[in-house]
Structures are given as structure tokens and as C-alpha cells.
Chains A and B, each alone.
Chain A
Amino acid sequence: MAKAKAKKQQQEQTYSSDGASAPAVDARSPEERLPRHARQHHDLPDREQCEEILRKMLLIRRFEERAGEMYTKAAIGGFLHLAIGEEAAIVGATLAMRDTDYLISTYREHGQALARGTDPKNVMAELFGRQDGVSKGHGGSMHLFDCERRFMGGYGIVGGNLPLAVGLGLSSDYQETEDATVCMLGDGAINQGNFGESLNLAALWSLPVVFMVVNNQFGMGTAIERASAITDLSKRGDGFGVPGSRCNGMDVLDVRAAIEEALRRAREDRTPQLVEAVTYRFRGHSMADPEEYRSKDEVEEWRRRDPIATFGERVTGEDVMSQDDVDSLDQEAQSRVEEAVEFADQSPFPELDALYDHLYAYGDQVPGWYVVDERAPETHKGEDLRDSSSDAMRELAEAGAAYAKVGDAEDRRKRSDPEEGDTESAGPRDEEGGAD
């Protein structure tokens, strides 16, 4: 700790020097950082919508808090990126979307899945690495997906989802639908080459894509002003033909208004849009982050703009809902999350046999060896078995262990019990007698 403290002092010294070696620390208050029109007033929507907004934001908040706890208890492995503080950005954006619009996100995306309506049980089960996870335990926290709700995934590579968003926009345009795509990215992704490439292509081809920068002001532990020469990120689309706007990412109604307008332009005018939502994550980049790069005071100051608390105060202050109503929504969120934890805990780990599942689509055209299993010497039985009988190779593949001309576990099950399914489509090589 002492070492860390010394390091921090050293950093502060560097900042307070003449600035030749590092940019001066950005001392702007949240008020100064938030866009001017953030003071713009949005009327509260009707009670039903206010409830919906609060219900979603609370679900995300409680889900994230509980996920953090489960991570510290080692029920969740790997990385865990929490979006506490960013709920207004997530919910505001999804509220502005149609059900048929695509949403594609970064690796901080539990909330995006929940806001799109994915069952928290399946999201939590994915974090637990269980069979009932949305991605069946293959993806984890950073790779949630819900095809049915057009939540097109979380992506672990910074900026890696931008080209995919262009492709989704292209597919909508090509198929002449009215669907649009909202692509969320972090402020860290702004400086990836993909950003310029993707905005240019979307503008060039007039695609219905809204690029939404969820600017939480840090790329991992590096403050935005230490990474971007221009920190008004809404201007970063100008050179690519993508008009930009900023909104207050701590105000769910401001975000909704901004994304609604951007979606309208993207959809109707076929002009992709860039929207910057200025927000703040109250927790570290991931659970592994000691947060030495920012002061507690700064975090506290942003916490005073907590998007859920401020919205809650407004709805009670304007008598749209009572405090009891708000509390009961919170209770509801907590119990849904509790159920999700119980569900995830009960859900079995994936069968080891599922290791190769979903790697390939096995059509009816392909014999040959898709994958080679070299995990252990005892799986190198190919030669003996090949020599002893032509069925042996098939048995080996069906066992799923060795040199596998493996299909999915499902395919293998079908093959071992031919009455269950179409053996031909599962493994044409079987029909040809293995060693022809």
C-alpha cells in the first residue's frame, strides 16, 4: 500500500510540474464536464413509463452489486466490469429503441442485456459459467448475447464491435427494413482505428447506425484527457460525415431524448449519428481495479449525480410516485436478482462433452477433420484403432475425446442412436465407412 501511495504522489507531482511530460490533470467539475444543455429540462413521462425506467435502472444496479459480491466470493471468474453509475445511459438508450432495432455493446454489457429484456437468471448463470447462461457458459461476462431480443452481443476487444454495427446496419439497409442499430462504445474505443473506419463506412453507405459513446471518462485507468487530444468526443465524427451530439449520461430522460433524435435521423435521413453520453462509473474498471488513478472526492462528487437517486427524487418530488412505490420497485429488483443468483447457483456447469459445441455449423456437405484433439497422450489412439477396425475411428469421434471429426454433442448423440435423427447430416463420413 505504501508503495502504491508513493506511486500516486509521484504521479501527482508529475501532473503539477510544468506539464511537459504529462497533461495537466483536468480539474473540471462534473457540472463543467457535462454538456451545457444538460440543464435543459425534460418533463417526466407518465407514471407507467417512470416505473419502467426506475424498474430497469434498479434491476441493473442491484444486479451489478450482487454480481460484484459473487465475484468476491469466487462464484464468478475472469473479469467483471460493472456499470454502476451508467444506468441512465443504458436505460435511456434502450428506451429510445424499437424492439426490432439492433443493440451491440462493449464488454461492460450486463445492463444492456437486462435493459433489452434478457432474463437476469440467464445473465447471472452466464457469469457463473453455467449451462443455462445466455451463451451456455462459452462467453462469460464480456460475451452476453440474446438473438431473440436483438441484443447482438458484448465484445471483449475495445472497438471491435464497431465494424459489426456497420454490418448490421448494412443488413438492415440491404434488406430494406426500417431497423436501426445502436452501437455502444466506450471513450477508450474512440482512438482505435476501427472508430474512424467504421464511421466513414457507415456515412459513405448511408447506414442507419447510431454510435453511442458511453463516456465514463476513463479508458481502464487512463483519464480521457490523457488519451484524447480532443475530449469533446461528439466532435470526433465530424471528419467522417457523422454528425455528433452530447447528452447528460446521468439523466435518463436526456439520454432517451438524444438517442431518440439520433435514431430518427439515422432511420429516416439515412445519416449515421454519433451521440456522446457523459457519465461516470462509480466502481473500478473491473473488480480487479484498485482505483489509484482518481480521488475519492471526485468519485463522491459524481455519486451525488447518481442517475437512479436523482430520478427517484424527481418522481417522488413531482408526486408521480410515492417513496413507498420506489422502495417496492427496489424490493422487486432485489428479489429478482436474488432469484437470479439462486438460479445460477443451481444451474449445472456445462457437460465437458460440450467443449466443442457451437464451434462449427455442420452442414451436409462436409466430411473430414474439423478439429484435432491433442490434449493428452492417451487420446492418441488413432493408429491402433484405425488398424483394428474402421468403426473404431467413428467410435472415437462419438466419444468426443480423440481425433475428433466431432460434431456438436447433439450430433454425436444422434449418431450413436441413429433412430434419433438424421445421421447423414450429422456425419456423412460415417455413411462412407470411415476409412475409405
Chain B
Amino acid sequence: MAEVRYREALNQAIREEMEADEKVFIMGEDIAVFQGAFKVTQGLLEEFGEKRVRDTPISENTIVGAGVGAAMGGLRPIVELMTINFSLLALDQIINSAAAIRYMFGGQVGVPMVIRMPQGGGHQLGPTHSHSLEAIYLHVPGLLVAVPTTAADAKGLLKAAIRDDNPVVFIEHEALYGQRGEVPENGDGELMRFGEAAIRREGDDVTIVGISRQALIAADAAQTLADEHEIEAEVIDPRTLRPLDLDTIVESVQKTNRAVIVEEGWPHGGVGANLAALIQEQAFDHLDAPVQRVTGADTPMPYSKPLEQAAMPHEEHVVKAALSTFRDL
């Protein structure tokens, strides 16, 4: 184990999988010579050359579509999109092609590819570079969706995604690229699996599910709840939204009887809305309070720093939401 940054963990995953399999290659805007807008692909061009590390024009829909076609032709492409907002230009290829092809052609061909993209606010990038849109991709049958929070998950899940035979939308978080964490070396430890939530902290009083970076905010909030309110929160990071480890979440709620879901994205039709529906269907009689959601503001992301901060969920919101599930006591 070595301590590395989240971006380096991603870089290791790509490098190791490219070393292991000739068919794996990466393409995207500014990923080769410029070495990535967030430096995830640093050094890859030098190591693997132009054939396997490909700069592309700014043509998101065609980059993704070319990845789909290459996957149908037997390769295992990794496509990097510079931000999740830009991925909207590729929605046609992601939804109408990548997600649908195996199904609509009766299983004759698969689309083993990874579409990586960072999301999230906090850098004052305003309304077209800062959104959290995992709910859009969660919505689509045929896609797998990963939202890694830690460096170890970033590496482990990306390696698993590259080896998976399904199209994977792999959502990184801009504010996490610099976070450090312990990460296994190549060949060290088992391959991580999709569909397994991580319990970041155990507790009996309230379940807090944090999505993407909000899993870290949830952990901070849990500490505050313990320190200041004698409430022991169980913090769950689902790590992947499809497949979803609903069992771990429901089992936790059955124990705690309370649930809070924290996400940076919009409230309507969000991940929390979905999870709240599933929890009430599965554990209605176990709930002692309505499922609470903490989400980003229901607006485009504003630029001005105080406004941007006001539009994002913070620890205090999570603490309040958790406390509100105890209001009957």
C-alpha cells in the first residue's frame, strides 16, 4: 500500500490495465500532450505512445460514439470527457448507443467501455462546468454508474470498470482529485467489485448515505453528531449506483430506523429521491421518521463564491437533517 492522490490512483488504474491488456486504450480532449485537464493521464502518452493515448478534437458525441464502435470492434476503450456538463453533448451516444446496443441487438454484441468524467462544484466554474448529474446516468438501464469517493475506490473501481463488459459511466469529482489515500499496488489485493457499498462508519442511530464527495461530508457530519449530540450515525458510501448495493442500505435502515441521503445534485428526480422511494418500499415499517434528503440547490450552479457555497450541501445541513429524524423523541 502506498499513499497517493485520487488523480494518481486513477492514473495507476489506467496504466496497470493498459499494461495488462493491449486492447485497452484511452482517448479524449487534451489527455495526451496536455496530459489531461485534471492531470489524470499524466505520463501515459510517453509510456504508451500515440496509438493508445489519443488526443481528440472537441467532438464529445463523436468521441463517445467512436468508443462505442471501437468496443463493438473488439477493443476496450476508455473515453475521458473533460466535465460531466460536456457529457451532455454525448448523451445521444451514451443513451441511444452505448446503453442500448447490447439490448436492442439481442445480445449479439456488447459495449465494453468506460466513459470517465468529473463532476461537482466548489471551484467557481459556474453554471456550465460544475453540475452533479449522476442521477441522469443512474436513470438509464444498460449503463453501470460508479461514483468513487476515495483514492482506493477510484483505483479499484476504475480497474473493475475497464475489465467489465458493460458500458460504465465513471463519475469522478473535481474536488477529490487532490485527496490522498492508501491505495493497493498493482496485483496487491483483490479486484474491487461493483455493487458493494462501503460502510464508512458504523452506528446504530441513523443511516446517512453519501453520494460521491458527499460521502466525506456525511462522515464529517457523523463525527459532529457523535461529538455534540451523542448520536451514532452509520455512514454508507454506495460507491456504485448501478448496480446498487441496496441490501446494505436497507439492512442499515432496519437497524437505525432513520435515513438521510446526501448528494450534490439537484433534488427533483435525484439519487436521493430514488433511494428514498426504494427505502420506503423495502423498509417502511422500520422507519421512525420520513427519509430526509440533503441536495444541491434547485438552480444552475452560480459563479459568485458565497452563492456557489450556498448552492452546495455542507456538513451543517447533514447534521440538521439527521437531527430532524429524531424530532419525535
Chain A interface (Cβ within 8 Å of chain B)?
102, 104, 133-139, 143, 145-147, 152-153, 155-157, 160, 162-172, 174-175, 193-194, 197-198, 200-201, 204-205, 357-361, 363, 365-372, 380, 382-383, 386, 403, 405, 408, 429, 434-436
Contacts and interface: CB of A to CB of B under 8 A. Distances in A.
B61 A193 contact: yes
A164 B105 contact: no
Given A160-B65, A201-B59, A171 B70 contact: yes
Contact of B193 (A155, A201, A367): A367
Interface string B244-272: 11110011000000000000000000000
Contacts of B71: 167
A147 B107 CA distance: 10
Given A201-B56, A360-B102, A361-B110, 9 more contacts: A134-B105, A134-B108, A139-B104, A139-B105, A157-B92, A162-B62, A167-B72, A201-B66, A372-B278
Interface stretch (B3-11, B282-290, B294-302, B311-319): B282-290
Consensus secondary structure, chain A interface: loop
A233 B206 CA distance: 64
8 contacts: A136-B107, A167-B66, A167-B68, A197-B62, A201-B63, A368-B246, A371-B141, A372-B278
Contacts of A403: 246, 282
A291 B242 CA distance: 45
Contacts of A156: 96
Interface of B: 25, 51, 54, 56-57, 59, 61-75, 77, 92-93, 96-97, 101-110, 112, 141-142, 144, 160, 163-166, 191, 193-196, 240, 242-247, 250-251, 278, 281-285
Contacts of A146: 108
B282 A386 contact: yes
Nearest to B62: A197
Contacts of B67: 167
B191 A134 contact: no
Nearest to B105: A145
B115 to A, nearest CB: 13
Contacts of A380: 281
A320 B304 CA distance: 79
B105 A360 contact: no
B79 to A, nearest CB: 10
B240 A368 contact: yes
A370 B243 contact: yes
Nearest to A133: B106
Contacts of A386: 250, 282
A370 B243 CA distance: 4
Contact of A365 (B73, B96, B191, B285): B191
